[in-house]
Amino acid sequence: MGATKTDNYTDEQNKIALLLKALGHPARIAIIEYLIKVNSCICGDIVNEIKLAQPTISQHLKELKNVGIIKGSIEGTAICYCIDETVWNQIQAYFENINLKLIEKSTNCC
């Protein structure tokens, strides 16, 4: 136990869960919001922005990159990160789809 039983679910369910799990930490939310705020992609002053040690930020960036929410390109000694809009749109589409269904059949009993 302790490990998620991914076999029980569809690939889609597993995928969206992984994406949302990656966003399910305030540090990673803060990173995303910062990346959006500074417009042009930003490298390691995320460490200055968020009160966490550099290895911790690096770890969070890695997680976001692993699921495809952000991407980074090397720029000299620094690395330029930014949001991958493709994956982001997938997340948005998922929520929109569910919202449509919710509106469609709004026969709540609770």
Q: Confirm or reject binding of residue 25 to DNA (CB under 7 A).
A: yes
CB 70 within 8 A of CB 61: yes
Under the binding rule (CB under 7 A), the answer on residue 76 touching DNA is yes
Q: Which of the ranges 29-37, 77-85, 93-101, 102-110 carries the binding residues for DNA, by CB under 7 A?
A: 77-85
Q: Is 5 in the site for a second copy (CB under 8 A)?
A: yes
Asked whether position 27 contacts DNA by CB under 7 A, the answer is yes
Among 36, 45, 59, 62, binds a second copy (CB under 8 A): 36
Contacts of 4 (CB under 8 A, 6+ apart): none
DSSP string, 11-74: HHHHHHHHHHHHH-SHHHHHHHHHHHHT-S-B-TTHHHHTTS-HHHHHHHHHHHHHTTSEEEEE
Find the binding residues for a second copy in span 58-77 (CB under 8 A). 71-73, 75
Helix (H) or strand (E) holding 81: strand 78-83
Provide the minimum distance between the beta carbon of 69 and DNA in the complex, in angstroms, as a whole number: 13
Indicate whether 60 belongs to the interface with DNA (CB under 7 A).
yes
Q: Which entry of a second copy, DNA, none binds 100, CB below 5 to 8 A by partner kind?
A: none
